Amino acid sequence: MTDLSHPHSSNTLRETDRLMTVCNSCRYCEGLCAVFPAMEMRRAFSDGDLNYLANLCHACGACYADCQFAPPHEFNVNVPQTLAIARAESYAHYAWPPGLSGLFARNGLVISLIAALSVAAFVFGFAAFTDPAVLYGVHTGPGAFYKLMPHNAMAVLFSAAFLYAIVALVMGVHAFWRNIGEPVGMTTGPRALLQALRDAGELRYLHGGGVGCYNEDERPTDRRKLYHHLTFYGFLLCFAATSVATLYHYLLAREAPYPWWDLPVVLGTLGGLGLVIGPIGLLVAKTARDPALVDKQRMGMDVAFIIMLWLTGATGLLLLVLRATAAMGPLLALHLGVVFALFLTMPYGKFVHGIYRYAALVRYARERQMMGG
Amino acid sequence: MVDLSRKYDVLVIGGGNAALCAAISARRAGASVLVLEGAPKFYRGGNTRHTRNMRCAHDAATEILTGPYTEDEFFEDLLRVTGGQTDEDLARFMIHESKEMLTWIVEQGVRWQPSLGGTLSLGRTNSFFLGGGRAMLNALYLTAEQLGIDILYDAEVTSLDIRDGMFLSATLKRDGKDIAIRASALVAAAGGFEANIDWLRESWGPAADNFLIRGTPYNRGSILKMLLGKGVQSIGDPTQCHAVAIDARAPKFDGGIITRHDSDVFGIDVNKHAQRFYDEGEDIWPKRYAIWGRLVAAQPDQIAYIIFDSSVVTSFMPTLFPPIAGNTVAELAQKLELDPAALAKTMAEFNAAVRPGTFDHTILDDCRTEGITPPKTHWARKIDAPPYLAYPVRPGITFTYLGTRVNRQARMVMADGKPAANMFAAGEIMAGNVLGQGYAAGMGMTIGSVFGRVAGREAAANARN
Ligand SMILES: Cc1cc2nc3c(=O)[nH]c(=O)nc-3n(C[C@H](O)[C@H](O)[C@H](O)COP(=O)(O)OP(=O)(O)OC[C@H]3O[C@@H](n4cnc5c(N)ncnc54)[C@H](O)[C@@H]3O)c2cc1C
Ligand code: SF4
Ligand code: SF4
């Protein structure tokens, strides 16, 4: 057959191909987001192309509410849900090391286990390092935290977890980037990287073509974007707080805890608030969402990640408020345990969506430049 | 809860573009409004769900339109496509009003797509709905709800009580019960009768059984029939409609835009006797597109096959239904259930008649045949690179033109020429006033929006007096 369509490695990708072929002969949604214009640049789709499109989709839901062929129509066109499933499967497909890709499927459970174990390890670790009484003691002033765990030990442990996460993520994205096909001359440039940074930073395509995203019905709202911003920027602020504190420690020899007005605390408080409010909003929106739009099987993965982020923010804030009391020891153990688990599970959970989507946006920005648009 | 025992100012029957524009404009003019949509919620908005753009006059380029399209030019286009079969006064009125539509419809929540340059060569004349017709409808429904318009789905109107050109009440079938709905004025916006095969058969004969209906199965013309039966003047010819060639494997109803084929340029069209029947290279899109439905309808069993070969497969987009393929002409013929010898002969004669030229499907190029009837006057190239491919096509009916006569107020005109007391019509149900025959892309929506808005306004005024 001269049909140029590609064979595909999974049923999900076969269904995605069917939908993209339908959409490519319809094109009514081309103004809604980046997915459709990217689709229009192709006439047949490899596995990599489909994974690229799936990760370019921001799940705003507009193309479902707007599709005349959505179920119950017999053409059964459900782009958001199909791309959501393809997206989740792509994370597992590109996971590094490949042997751990199965973690995605059992993500909710794995995250809970790792989190519980990490917290337990920190509690026992503290107790073993010092004597149990120290854990429940009241410590104040510079260096108070390190009565429980020496700073260097903390730094080594977290750097190791963080580095592992980075390596695993880089390997995964590298595989993705190669697979989504990089024709000659398609190497990316600073302009595409910047454009994608802006598109990702603004969540430019989580907007249903301008009205906001669709959640429970065909009436659009913009709330998911707001909650996502709170969560994402909250996370960045917390990360910045930790980085500044590390610099203080090693460059200025100033030890935590810092007074409330100091940069790490201000950043951490603001970030923590974002991380407490944002995930709650996302979780509420997720529960209310029309089941037709979501990948029901991956709810566990999404929820686990949202809860981990919330716990990071909540324990951090609590630690700040109660750091001069006897609760400091257990809370520090809890907070560090949660953050440690978050780092460790990063490459095998919902966290990766940001990385893959950014890579897809870079690719899209580059394609647009090549097309002169 | 909607209180059906009250008397509304305006009752709107239908749930598409025309109905919603009428309902919103009546409500904005202060009327209480009830919309009765016969379809379930998902299928609300009939054919409007399937649309993509609207043709409006404008004096200058805008963010969404690449250049000016004056009222005169619009009217000339209309004259050309209808062969003069239009009510000039109403047509000019509609075209004039269409100008304001570009902003009015946006005020009702509808969004236009910024011009993407090359789209279908309609970028200057037609404005495209962002997200298509269903997005447009979602916006109109949202606005209607916010304005306090009552809307019922699964609400088919089964009879109308009309006396001497005066609407009194409508009967609604709901949960097996008949409910009488009273209103001071009626806007009929319930579409044409394209989904009523029996009615199509009355004028097309048994051929109608082989027609596919591109849009909603709910436009069965019941309201139109009731109105004509109660003394409203009809306009238009029952065989006139918009029809295109669509894939024969498409569902009977509602296959929408993605079942269309426009690949004739790249091959030949044969009927069930494997004979060519029309110059495939006569004209450029969209004129070519608009005539093929009727051409196929005139062939035996209303079926035809677009035949091409593997050398052109990449020239057009892959389709929902992939082409049927054969490694030899005989194999293809067998799969299509055509006489292999006849198909081989037709193709050999065609190939022999092809003259050399430079192919360019965007212009009327110089690739043509010589010495065969019918000729292919442009884009003729040999079909000789196996595998051979084919799309089976049938007439796909978009919408019918026979309708109720109206005046500039969108007020129905009775058989005796008098304006109806309190009845208005908009959309497909009165398209024949403007479209005697032929079609120019985007006019279906212009007719619905312009006359819908006028009908709503006038019905509200009528109800107040
Ligand atoms: C595939 C396709 C693509 C098209 N693309 C375009 C385009 O891009 N641009 C364009 O201008 N035109 C296009 N058209 C034509 C356009 O769809 C119609 O001209 C236009 O939508 C008509 O609007 P309307 O409101 O009159 O009818 P509809 O939108 O069809 O609405 C009629 C409504 O009446 C309801 N109804 C019927 N009978 C009853 C009853 N007894 N009781 C209660 N309710 C009833 C139906 O359920 C339906 O919702 C297209 C048509 C098709 C099929
Ligand atoms: S989602 Fe539906 S309306 Fe949108 S492009 Fe695809 S088929 Fe067309
Ligand atoms: S869900 Fe939104 S972002 Fe995803 S393909 Fe549809 S319109 Fe685009």
pLDDT tens digits, B397-408: 999 999 999 999
pLDDT tens digits, B232-255: 999 999 999 999 999 999 999 999
Question: Ligand 3 atom closest to Cα of A80?
Answer: 1
pLDDT tens digits, B166-175: 999 999 988 8
Minimum CA–CA partner of B217 in chain A? A73
Sequence-separated (6 or more) residues with CB below 8 Å from residue A1:
B322, B325, B387
Interface probe, candidates A2, A73, A368, chain B, greatest B C-beta count within 10 A: A2
* Rounded-to-integer distance, Cα A330 and Cα A344, Å: 21
**CB–CB of B131 and A68 under 8 A?**
no
Give me the pLDDT at residue A136, please. 80
Q: Which of A1-15, A302-316, B276-290, B333-347 has the highest mean pLDDT?
A: B333-347
For chain A, what's the residue count?
A: 373
Determine phi and psi for B390, rounding to 5 degrees.
Answer: -150, 145
Which residues of B touch chain A, with CB atoms under 8 Å apart?
42, 49-50, 52, 111, 113-114, 116, 128-135, 138, 141-142, 251, 254, 256-258, 310, 313-314, 317-320, 322-323, 325, 387, 389
Domain boundaries of chain A, sorted by first residue:
11-93, 98-371
Pairing mode of beta strands B388-400, B33-36: unpaired
Q: List the single residue in A1, A25, A209 with the smallest CB-CB distance to B258.
A: A25
Joined together, the tokens standing for residue B272 give 């069930």
Give me the pLDDT at residue A207, please. 85
Joined together, the tokens standing for residue B410 give 């969108």
Mean pLDDT of A13-29: 96
A360 CB within 6 A, ligand 2 = no
Question: What percent of chain B clears pLDDT 90, i.e. is strictly above it?
Answer: 89
Band of residue A187 on the pLDDT scale cut at 50, 70, 90: low
A vs B: CB pairs below 8 A = 98
Sequence-separated (6 or more) residues with CB below 8 Å from residue B4:
B34, B172, B179, B181
* Rounded-to-integer distance, Cα A290 and Cα A32, Å: 19
* Rounded-to-integer distance, Cα A144 and Cα A158, Å: 19
**Is a pLDDT exceeding 70 seen at residue B80?**
yes
Chain B residues lying within 8 Å of A36, measured CB to CB: none
Give me the pLDDT at residue A11, please. 96
Q: List the single residue in B49, B50, B114 with the smallest CB-CB distance to A31.
A: B114
Domain boundaries of chain B, sorted by first residue:
7-197+401-464, 248-396
* Rounded-to-integer distance, Cα B463 and Cα B183, Å: 8
Joined together, the tokens standing for residue A270 give 């603001």
Q: Which fold has domain B248-396?
A: Flavocytochrome C3; Chain A, domain 1 (3.90.700)
Q: List the single residue in B131, B310, B313 with the smallest CB-CB distance to A32.
A: B131
Q: List the single residue in B50, B257, B318 with the smallest CB-CB distance to A5.
A: B318
What are the angstrom distances between the C-alpha of A312 and each of A268, A306, A325, B456? Answer: 11, 10, 20, 57
Give me the pLDDT at residue A183, please. 55
* Rounded-to-integer distance, Cα B132 and Cα A32, Å: 10
Q: Quick check: B53 and B113 in contact, CB under 8 A? A: no
For chain B, what's the residue count?
A: 465
pLDDT tens digits, B205-224: 999 999 999 999 999 999 99
Band of residue B299 on the pLDDT scale cut at 50, 70, 90: very high
For chain A, state the CA radius of gyration: 23
Mean pLDDT of chain A: 89
CB atoms within 10 A of CB A14: 15
Give me the pLDDT at residue B22, please. 98
Q: Quick check: B193 and B74 in contact, CB under 8 A? A: no
* Rounded-to-integer distance, Cα B139 and Cα B110, Å: 6
Pairing mode of beta strands A220-221, B53-55: unpaired
- B382, burial (CB in 10 Å: exposed 0-12, middle 13-18, buried 19+): middle
Q: List the single residue in B42, B134, B256 with the smallest CB-CB distance to A72.
A: B42
* Rounded-to-integer distance, Cα B113 and Cα B102, Å: 12
**Is a pLDDT exceeding 50 seen at residue A1?**
no
- Dihedral sign of CA atoms A181, A187, A192, A196 in order: positive
Identity of the amino acid at B124:
R
Q: Quick check: B361 and B379 in contact, CB under 8 A? A: yes
Interface probe, candidates A3, A45, A68, chain B, greatest B C-beta count within 10 A: A68
Give me the pLDDT at residue A141, please. 81
CB atoms within 10 A of CB B248: 21
**Is a pLDDT exceeding 90 seen at residue A344?**
no
Sequence-separated (6 or more) residues with CB below 8 Å from residue A298:
A84, A85, A88, A107
Mean pLDDT of chain B: 95
Give me the pLDDT at residue B117, please. 53
Q: Using the structure block, give the residue that is written with the tokens 């605390």.
A: A265
B19 CB within 6 A, ligand 1 = yes
**Is a pLDDT exceeding 50 seen at residue B433?**
yes
Chain A residues lying within 8 Å of B325, measured CB to CB: 1-3
Determine phi and psi for B423, rounding to 5 degrees.
Answer: -125, 130
Mean pLDDT of A259-265: 92
Give me the pLDDT at residue A2, please. 38
Chain B residues lying within 8 Å of A219, measured CB to CB: 142
Determine phi and psi for B305, rounding to 5 degrees.
Answer: -130, 125
Q: For chain B, say whether A43 makes contact (Cβ under 8 Å).
A: yes
Give me the pLDDT at residue B316, please. 81
* Rounded-to-integer distance, Cα B32 and Cα B184, Å: 10
Q: Quick check: B191 and B46 in contact, CB under 8 A? A: yes
Give me the pLDDT at residue B318, please. 82
Report which of residues B396 and A121 the model is more confident about: B396
Minimum CA–CA partner of A45 in chain B? B318
**Is a pLDDT exceeding 60 seen at residue B199?**
yes
* Rounded-to-integer distance, Cα B232 and Cα B236, Å: 13
Q: Quick check: B425 and B187 in contact, CB under 8 A? A: yes
For a pocket test of ligand 1, which of B48, B121, B174 has the largest count of ligand atoms closer than 8 A to its C-beta? Answer: B48
Q: Which fold has domain B7-197+401-464?
A: FAD/NAD(P)-binding domain (3.50.50)
How close, in Å, is residue A25 to chain B by CA atoms? 6
Band of residue B428 on the pLDDT scale cut at 50, 70, 90: very high
Mean pLDDT of A41-53: 94
**CB–CB of A209 and B130 under 8 A?**
yes
Q: Quick check: A68 and A93 in contact, CB under 8 A? A: no
Question: Ligand 1 atom closest to Cα of B39?
Answer: 47
Closest CA to B298 of B245, B224, B237, B221: B245
- Dihedral sign of CA atoms A296, A302, A307, A308 in order: positive
Give me the pLDDT at residue A134, please. 75
Identity of the amino acid at B428:
E
CA–centroid distance, residue A337 to ligand 2 (Å)? 45
* Rounded-to-integer distance, Cα B420 and Cα A37, Å: 49
Mean pLDDT of B61-70: 93
**CB–CB of A73 and B254 under 8 A?**
yes
What are the angstrom distances between the C-alpha of B168 and each of A311, B171, B185, B463? Answer: 65, 10, 8, 12
CA A323 to chain centre: 29
Report which of residues A51 and A116 the model is more confident about: A51
Q: Quick check: B401 and B431 in contact, CB under 8 A? A: yes
pLDDT tens digits, A153-179: 888 888 899 999 999 999 999 999 999
pLDDT tens digits, B100-148: 999 999 999 999 998 765 555 788 999 999 999 999 999 999 999 999 9
Band of residue A92 on the pLDDT scale cut at 50, 70, 90: very high
ipTM of predicted assembly, 2 dp: 0.95
Say whether B400 sits in a helix, a strand or coil. Answer: strand
User: Tell me, what DSSP letter sits at residue B259?
Assistant: G
Ligand lying closest to the C-alpha of residue A55: 3
Band of residue A138 on the pLDDT scale cut at 50, 70, 90: confident
Give me the pLDDT at residue A255, please. 85
Residues with CB under 6 A from ligand 3: A 29, 32-33, 35, 57-63, 79-80, 83, 205
The pTM assigned to this predicted structure is 0.94
B260 CB within 6 A, ligand 1 = no
Instruction: Give contacts of A 332-371 with B, CB under 8 A.
Output: none
Buried b (16+ CB within 10 A) or exposed e, A269-304: bbbbebbbbbbbbbbebbeebbeebbbeebebbbbb
Mean pLDDT of B5-24: 98
